[in-house]
A and B are shown apart, each in its own frame.
Chain A
Amino acid sequence: MKKVIMGNHALSWGAQLGRAQVIAAYPITPQTQVVELLSEMCASKALDAKFINVESEHSAMAALLGASIAGARTFTATSSHGLALMHELLHWAGLGRLPVVMGNINRAMAPGWSIWADQNDSLSQRDTGWMQYYCASNQEVLDTTIQAFKVSEALAIPAMIMLDAFTLSHTYEVVDIPDQDKVDKYLPPFQPKLRLSSDDPHAFGGLTSPEHYYELRYKLQKDMERAPALIEKTGQEYEKMFGRRLGLAEDYQCSDAEILFITSATAGYTARVAVDALRAEGIKAGNLRLRVFRPFPFDKVREVAGRAGRVAVVDRNLSWGCHGIFYQEVKSALYGHTDGLPIYGYVAGLGGRDITPETFKEIARDALSRKKNEPAEEIVWIGVKR
């Protein structure tokens, strides 16, 4: 069935098709429609789930931790300051190995008060032990939600799915909504690895001495390292059943790129338009859009960037006092793998400033004008009014 739906509703449909069993959420612009539709789905029994109204995002995540350890498939959605308020409990889910799936609408942190697109909210949660997916279309949002349940439950690692505020969350697109029975075949019911049950009672997450804590973290990292292969595998299974590939990254015209953009989220689709325009001008451009940021897709980045002439990483985020965050990670992934490859860091679109095909053309012109043997510039600001 095809429907014209907004990005936020693609998350709701993904949660319904994924048969989430417990949903606890607190509304925040620009996420509100996600849980509005989910509450309607629960009320009409289209989705057989318990919907818990809570007084804060902190409580929303706390409720899901309990539901998840009791064996329920859990879903929530938030944005920006709501995500920041969850911060402590994100660790409880990540380090507690509870496969909660959450939509996060990427919205700038205040002050200045803003409701527009910016990735610093979710990237500030980088080290909480969650997988992170960044989406570029409403279809991808729905498909990724279903895939995220499957991957998260197999590895006992939670996942957040990112949508750019308004650029994706409030944009209406045609979305193919798969049949429930096919989704059920792809995604069987949740089989928890640990379970709170009165039949076999245990208390979870208690005091852990230095004798044991270290190994728990080792296990989490080892399972995170298994995630890239599993994301590719479940993405190929998804393609077989539904015709759409869900990999770690999407490469576009990368095989002979003299200038390779590395992008994420909706800017990654805008980049494809710019790649076509640049190629029409005779400039061999390419675009690698990272769908997954945690676990970081090291092999994919090394493979694609290894063939490029120059790399321009475009960040809608910034680690203050350092660099664009994807730029830092791409550089660290390529260190020792691509000798002499110039890698430039571009910061654009903070706080919802538009990133357009012209932005990418400007980036390409800048990157190609630099001397190859000069030290790469770490932050090039695009479009700052100076």
Chain B
Amino acid sequence: MKKKKSLERIVFTSESEFPLMPMSLGTMHYNRTGAWRNIKPVIELDKCIQCGICWKFCPDVAILIQDEWPVVDYDYCKGCGICAEECPPKCIAMVEEEK
């Protein structure tokens, strides 16, 4: 995530080459939006009840369920804090990001 991926850049020279609507070259997988984050969710699994609510509410699909436990995908988590707000046993803390 620290390493900035060199982006392929296309410059059109004639309107006839343009698509009708701007579109990405492929998926947005390369766009690691986790770099935007100021605070990050840290899950205390001892208190986790495995309800899946954080997974369900995450607007960026950045919480994965691995072996039945939630795991934050820090490559894409923007640190919005919705998971921490919604977590019933309050086992997700939002922690200052260290740069």
CB within 8 Å of B: which residues of A? Answer: 96-97, 156, 193-194, 201-208, 211-212, 215-216, 218-219
Contacts and interface: CB of A to CB of B under 8 A. Distances in A.
B15 A208 contact: no
Given A211-B11, A212-B12, A194 B24 contact: no
Chief secondary structure at chain A's binding surface: loop
Contacts of A219: 15, 18, 20
A215 B18 CA distance: 8
B22 A206 contact: yes
Q: Which residue, of A156, A211, A212, has the highest number of chain B Cβ atoms within 10 A?
A: A212
B26 A212 contact: no
Contacts of B28: 203
Interface of B: 11-12, 15, 18-28
27 contacts: A96-B21, A97-B21, A156-B20, A194-B19, A194-B23, A201-B26, A202-B23, A202-B24, A202-B26, A203-B23, A203-B24, A203-B27, A203-B28, A204-B21, A204-B23, A205-B23, A206-B23, A206-B24, A211-B11, A212-B12, A212-B18, A212-B22, A215-B18, A216-B18, A216-B20, A219-B15, A219-B20
Contacts of B27: 201-203
Contacts of B12: 212, 215
A365 to B, nearest CB: 50
Contact of B20 (A97, A201, A206, A211): A97
Nearest to A223: B20
Given A193-B20, A212-B12, A219-B15, 9 more contacts: A203-B28, A205-B21, A205-B22, A205-B23, A206-B23, A215-B15, A216-B18, A216-B21, A216-B22
Contacts of B21: 96-97, 194, 204-205, 216
Q: Which residue, of B11, B22, B25, has the highest number of chain A Cβ atoms within 10 A?
A: B22
Contacts of B11: 211
B33 to A, nearest CB: 12
Given A156-B20, A194-B20, A218 B25 contact: no
Given A215-B12, A215-B15, A202 B20 contact: no
Nearest to A201: B27
